């Protein structure tokens, strides 16, 4: 397929590379143009603007940082919307708010372009290995057309409902990550403070009802009080902000997620925003008076 | 081995049965004596008092409800301590406070009896199938003597430190369960309120960083708003109380666990104490105005 791909960060670059390697005709664009070069060396076309990247594309993928970036890429000066032809599909894979997605979806529908929100989880490792989990909202017919592309990028592609639903599912993911990691951090802090063999206790509780991906994969780092990436605190905080705004608009109180967001706000202020999100254990440990 | 076993509730009864089936000479005692009968029919001896159950026992297991029950069984009128011979080992498998355990350990040490705290996780199903996770505190030499018994009861037996450490590990387990379940409940409530295909979203997020035993095994019940056992809210609340008291004595704040304990307090008052602990989702859903 003819694919335009906008946004070549730590997620977008390996995703675009996978699409190229799968034999698609990919034209890339990135705000910092130099990031296009490695992909161009592998056969990608380069576009000077989002509009040019969209021209003649059957599918336009966007993988940028936040709602204003997606707005600018699609509807700003030389934005992609001006280049898209009727019948094209926009695969919006950034994590942004469901309301913003629905608004973009409606604007593009006027020019007979279908926008799917398809945020991902699985991190840069998942992007490189094609093992992302992709949650899709929008028209099912549009999803079926782009499914072969998504299967190059992810190991699971899940349709979760109309426009915006993919972003809600991503918000659910980040809310659950927040509370689960906080739970792990609290449990481990208790063991550390009590002076028991906490590595042994970690093993003992990992296999039962307390078990989680976070306990198994982030617990050991929490015990060492080191937080290599992973997924950055500042990005998780951005995503939690979207989740909490979405929840507030729906009248859904999320006290645990809101609490974790506060911990993350403090971590970012103190310079820990580029650590892994499991760094919330840093604060939980500090609150317990454990040496840092 | 000659084993005394005190406390034949939903956990103790199948545990004593497994020890019998493994060929040990087991003498049982239960406050409500009629509960001894099925085990007696399978070959167990019956003791009229804890003291009698302890007489000639190489190992005395206790599996009762709470600290006062253990106190009464060991040191009350006709208590087991009066029947234990020097060299015996007490396997205290109830979930009680680490401080209480250390005090009992010291009292029994005076008569050359070694007490191991060996609380379990895995529920009645784990007790029946011998797949409990057993966390052990106390003298390692005593553990090595009783390890063959523990391996009849559990699939993992983990030594976590001196007297009381097993109870700390159990407290860690219950703290992590509390926050993990709350995280799952919050995430699912968001999806339900947004009206997306939340079963599909549940599948999509279960395999990644949001994944947990609770999400996989209790999430579907939370979506249905039905909470079959499992592990009772009232027992988890008791265990969280121990964990929070232990943490407070150590100066460790556990805000997420404390919040969940409050939810459970309300559930018990309203008659939901015998539901599974995943019923904390009942409150999270209600707070979001979701129909019950």
Min distance A147 CA to chain B CA atoms (Å): 15
Structure tokens at A139: 């028209």
**A51-64 residue pLDDT tens:** 999 999 999 999 99
Query: Is residue A11 pLDDT above 80, yes or no?
Result: yes
Q: Please answer whether residues A81 and A108 qualify as being in contact, where contact means their C-beta atoms are separated by less than 8 angstroms.
A: yes
Mean pLDDT of A67-80: 98
pLDDT of residue A292: 65
Work out the mean pLDDT of chain A and round it to a whole number.
97
- Tell me the C-alpha to C-alpha distance, in Å, between residue B87 and each of B27, B53, B56, B94, B164: 18, 16, 11, 22, 20
Q: Please answer whether residues B164 and B137 qualify as being in contact, where contact means their C-beta atoms are separated by less than 8 angstroms.
A: yes
Is the C-alpha dihedral spanning A198, A203, A207, A212 positive or negative?
Answer: positive
Min distance B73 CA to chain A CA atoms (Å): 27
Q: Is A266 in CB contact (< 8 Å) with chain B?
A: no
Query: Domain A2-161 sits in which CATH superfamily?
Result: NAD(P)-binding Rossmann-like Domain (3.40.50.720)
Rounded Cα distance between B121 and A205, Å, is 8
Rounded Cα distance between A170 and B59, Å, is 52
CB contact under 8 A, A158 and B200: yes
The pTM for the full model equals 0.97
- Tell me the C-alpha to C-alpha distance, in Å, between residue A128 and each of A4, A18, A19, A155: 19, 8, 11, 12
CB contact under 8 A, B165 and A194: yes
- The boundaries of every CATH 3.40.50.720 domain in chain B are 2-161
Rounded Cα distance between A177 and A212, Å, is 10
- The boundaries of every CATH 1.10.1040.10 domain in chain A are 168-287
Mean pLDDT of A211-216: 98
Structure tokens at B42: 């399978």
Residues sharing a CB contact under 8 Å with residue A259, sequence separation 6 or more, in sequence order: A182, B255, B256, B259
Q: Is B262 in CB contact (< 8 Å) with chain A?
A: no
Peptide bond into B230 cis (omega under 30): yes
**A163-199 residue pLDDT tens:** 999 999 999 999 999 999 999 999 999 999 999 999 9
Stretch 72-101 of chain A: residues touching chain B, C-beta under 8 Å:
98
**B69-122 residue pLDDT tens:** 999 999 999 999 999 999 999 999 999 999 999 999 999 999 999 999 999 999
Indicate the residue of A134, A205, A253 with minimum beta-carbon distance to B176. Answer: A205
**B110-158 residue pLDDT tens:** 999 999 999 999 988 899 999 999 999 999 999 999 999 999 999 999 9
Assign A291 a pLDDT band (cuts: 50, 70, 90): confident
pLDDT of residue A18: 98
pLDDT of residue A246: 98
- Tell me the C-alpha to C-alpha distance, in Å, between residue B127 and each of A121, B121, B131, B165: 37, 9, 7, 21
Indicate the residue of A168, A175, A250 with minimum beta-carbon distance to B186. Answer: A175
CB contact under 8 A, B203 and A243: no
- Tell me the C-alpha to C-alpha distance, in Å, between residue B175 and each of A191, A203, A205, B189, B236: 11, 15, 11, 21, 10
Catalytic residue of the set B155, B170, B238, B269: B170
Query: Is residue B222 pLDDT above 90, yes or no?
Result: yes
Query: Is residue A6 pLDDT above 90, yes or no?
Result: yes
Using DSSP, how many helices (H) and how many strands (E) does chain A show?
13, 9
Work out the mean pLDDT of chain B and round it to a whole number.
97
CB contact under 8 A, A208 and B210: no
Residues sharing a CB contact under 8 Å with residue A287, sequence separation 6 or more, in sequence order: A189, B252, B253
Is the C-alpha dihedral spanning B65, B66, B69, B71 positive or negative?
Answer: positive
Instruction: Please state which CATH number belongs to domain A168-287.
Output: 1.10.1040.10
Q: Is A184 in CB contact (< 8 Å) with chain B?
A: yes
The full 3-state SS of chain B, as one line of letters, equals CEEEEECCCCCHHHHHHHHHHCCCEEEEECCCHHHHHHHHHCCCEECCCHHHHHCCCCEEEECCCCHHHHHHHHHCCCCHHHCCCCCCEEEECCCCCHHHHHHHHHHHHCCCCEEEECCEECHHHHHHHCCEEEEEECCHHHHHHHHHHHHHHEEEEEEEECCCHHHHHHHHHHHHHHHHHHHHHHHHHHHHHHCCCHHHHHHHHHCCCCCEHHHHHHHHHHHHCCCCCCCEHHHHHHHHHHHHHHHHHHCCCCHHHHHHHHHHHHHHHCCCCCCEHHHHHHHHHHHCCCCC
Tell me the three state secondary structure of residue A135.
strand
CB contact under 8 A, A256 and B257: no
Stretch 15-44 of chain B: residues touching chain A, C-beta under 8 Å:
none
Rounded Cα distance between A157 and A169, Å, is 12
β-strands B59-62, A2-6 pairing: unpaired
Structure tokens at B59: 């190992």
Assign B264 a pLDDT band (cuts: 50, 70, 90): very high
The full 3-state SS of B140-194, as one line of letters, equals HHHHHHHHHHHHHHEEEEEEEECCCHHHHHHHHHHHHHHHHHHHHHHHHHHHHHH
Q: Which chain B residue has the Cα nearest residue A186? A: B254
Mean pLDDT of B161-177: 98
A238 classed as catalytic: no
Q: Is A263 in CB contact (< 8 Å) with chain B?
A: no
Tell me the ipTM for this assembly: 0.97
Which residues from A are below 8 Å from B288, CB to CB? 250-253
Q: Is B215 in CB contact (< 8 Å) with chain A?
A: yes
pLDDT of residue B288: 97
């Amino acid at each position: 397929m003819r694919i335009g791909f906008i946004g070549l960060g730590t997620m977008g670059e390996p995703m675009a590379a996978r699409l190229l390697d799968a034999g698609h005709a990919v034209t890339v664009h990135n705000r910092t143009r130099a990031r296009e070069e490695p992909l161009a060396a592998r056969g990608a076309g380069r576009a000077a603007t989002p509009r040019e990247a969209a021209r003649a594309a059957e599918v336009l993928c966007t993988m940028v940082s936040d709602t204003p970036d997606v707005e600018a890429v699609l509807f700003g000066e030389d934005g992609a919307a001006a280049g898209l032809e009727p019948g094209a599909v926009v695969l919006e894979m950034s994590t942004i708010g469901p309301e913003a997605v629905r608004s973009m979806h409606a604007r593009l529908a006027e020019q007979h372009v279908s926008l799917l929100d398809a945020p991902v989880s699985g991190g840069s490792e998942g992007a490189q290995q094609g093992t992302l989990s992709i949650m899709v909202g929008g028209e099912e017919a549009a999803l079926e057309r782009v499914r072969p592309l998504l299967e190059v990028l992810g190991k699971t592609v899940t349709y979760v409902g109309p426009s915006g639903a993919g972003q809600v599912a991503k918000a659910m993911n980040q809310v659950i990550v927040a509370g689960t990691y906080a739970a792990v951090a609290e449990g481990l802090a208790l063991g550390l403070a009590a002076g028991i063999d906490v590595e042994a206790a970690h093993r003992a509780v990992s296999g039962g009802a307390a078990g989680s991906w976070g306990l198994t994969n982030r617990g050991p780092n929490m015990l060492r009080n080191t937080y290599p990436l992973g997924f950055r605190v500042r990005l998780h905080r951005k995503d939690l902000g979207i989740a909490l705004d979405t929840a507030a608009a729906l009248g859904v109180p999320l006290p645990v997620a809101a609490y974790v967001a506060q911990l993350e706000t403090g971590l970012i202020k103190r310079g820990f925003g580029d650590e892994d999100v499991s760094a919330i254990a840093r604060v939980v440990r500090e609150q317990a008076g454990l040496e840092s």
